[in-house]
């Protein structure tokens, strides 16, 4: 579970926060390495290393819809 004193900004999450959010939402362990691999594959990392969770989810949906290699 994510415990934070300040709210998360879903348009600018660290790789670590994305892994925590996805792990919590899915009920299974999602690693930072898995998040980084997908983010790099989809060119989703911002210059500051943050990820927009909406863009990340949309990329995964596109991959599922079109099949990934």
Any idea where the domains of the chain sit in the sequence?
A: 15-66
DSSP symbols for 1-68: ----SS---TTSB-HHHHHHHHHHHHTS---HHHHHHHHHHTT---TTS-B-HHHHHHHHHHHHHH--
Q: What is the pLDDT of residues 7-48, one digit of tens each?
A: 889 999 999 999 999 999 999 999 999 999 999 999 999 999
Give the pair of three-digit tokens for residue 43.
């060119």
Residue with tokens 């980084």: 36
CB 11 within 8 A of CB 53: yes
What is residue 69's DSSP assignment? -
What predicted TM-score, i.e. pTM, was given to this entire model?
0.84
């Amino acid at each position: 579970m994510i415990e934070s004193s300040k709210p998360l900004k879903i348009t600018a999450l660290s790789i670590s926060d994305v892994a925590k959010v996805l792990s919590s939402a899915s009920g299974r362990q999602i690693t930072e390495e898995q998040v980084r691999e997908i983010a790099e594959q989809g060119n989703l990392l911002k210059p500051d290393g943050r990820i927009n969770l909406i863009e990340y989810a949309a990329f995964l949906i596109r991959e599922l819809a079109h099949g990934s290699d």
